[in-house]
Homo-oligomer: A and B are copies of this chain.
Amino acid sequence: MNDDKHHWIGFDLGGTKMLAVVFDENFEPIGRARKKTKGHEGMQTGLKRINAVIAEALADANLEAEEIGGLGIGCPGPLNLKKRTIREAPNLGWKNVPIGDSIRDEFGFHVTVANDVDAGVFGEYTFGAGKGARCVVGIFPGTGVGGGCVYDGKLIRGANCTCMEIGHIPIVPDGPLDGLGNRGSLESVASRLAIAGKAAQACYRGAAPVLREKAGTDLSDIRSGALADSIAGGDMAVQAIVEKAAIYMASAVVTVVNLLAPEKVIFGGGLIEAMADTILPIVEKSARQRVLPSLRNVFEIVEATLGDDAGVMGAAALARQEVLQK
């Protein structure tokens, strides 16, 4: 590798904002820029905004494109990793997005396209809660439930570039419907949306006075923070709902531990950030009781440590991995 090119860029393309961070050779951030995504303005405008954010971050770091080893970008939706395109990003309303070529044509450096959750898991594996483990699985319960797995230093990727879709594994036969029309998936019973749906009912029935005061019965307002406040304020009904969801999360842990035997299962995402203390001890106890006896003491359940930086750090680290392996 050219010695000049020891800087890396991580890019996080979210539904509402986009963020670029430039890292030096020690992966210290030395420049950053962000903009609103504004997906509704269309794909072409969006691709230009992405390049503008990258240019701004480069300027902030006082670097030229020639000094960059590569850029990794974490994207929503199903991707085509080989063609470096987004097949479909429903949140943005974009389809068949040639995001890799668009950035490469503008700046000339290597571009790695990755799933946004995968990028976050790779970030935690490389720099955060998963550091030093041979195999880590990330589980991120938020509005949905995202997941990813690093095995022997690499993200596990299956056919069609999609995998570790842990939110869609079946947990409860004939359970509630999820967004894909399947019943009883992890998302359908343990996402923020699933919990909010039940909490709103408790609220409506008058069983969750604190939640009623903080958020009311509109699911859009029952965010992870409101659920945490409700439990902290003494809403026992909401606590019971969250605890039940934690048991379902534990089922997912039992599944991945029995299948892949990771040393670390990393929990992050909105629900965990808001109430790790309520959820993780239950996940821990239930999962450890139910995994294979020979695996009972070989895994740890840990909380993600990098927060929002996991995505950009992981994306940049993925770009570095791809470039160094060439």
Chain A residues with CB under 8 Å of chain B are: 78, 87, 134-135, 147, 149, 151, 156-160, 162-166, 168-173, 180, 182, 247-248, 251, 254-263, 290-295, 298-299
Q: Out of B159, B180, B257, B262, which one reaches A261, CB within 8 Å? A: B159
**B158–A261 touching, CB < 8 Å:** yes
**B292–A162 touching, CB < 8 Å:** yes
Q: Out of B156, B163, B170, B257, which one reaches A254, CB within 8 Å? A: B170
Residue in chain B with minimal CB distance to A169: B255
**B290–A159 touching, CB < 8 Å:** no
Q: Out of B170, B247, B258, which one reaches A290, CB within 8 Å? A: B170
CB distance from A243 to the nearest CB of B (A): 14
Interface centre among A149, A162, A180, A262 (most CB of B within 10 A): A162
**A165–B259 touching, CB < 8 Å:** yes
Give the residues in chain B near A290, CB-CB below 8 Å.
170, 182
Q: How far is the CA of A134 from the CA of B258 in the complex (A)?
A: 22
Q: How far is the CA of A173 from the CA of B175 in the complex (A)?
A: 11
24 of the cross-chain contacts (CB-CB < 8 Å) are A78-B294, A134-B159, A135-B158, A149-B259, A151-B151, A156-B260, A158-B257, A158-B260, A158-B261, A158-B262, A158-B295, A159-B261, A159-B262, A160-B295, A163-B261, A165-B259, A165-B292, A168-B254, A169-B255, A169-B259, A173-B248, A173-B251, A255-B259, A256-B259
CB distance from A250 to the nearest CB of B (A): 9
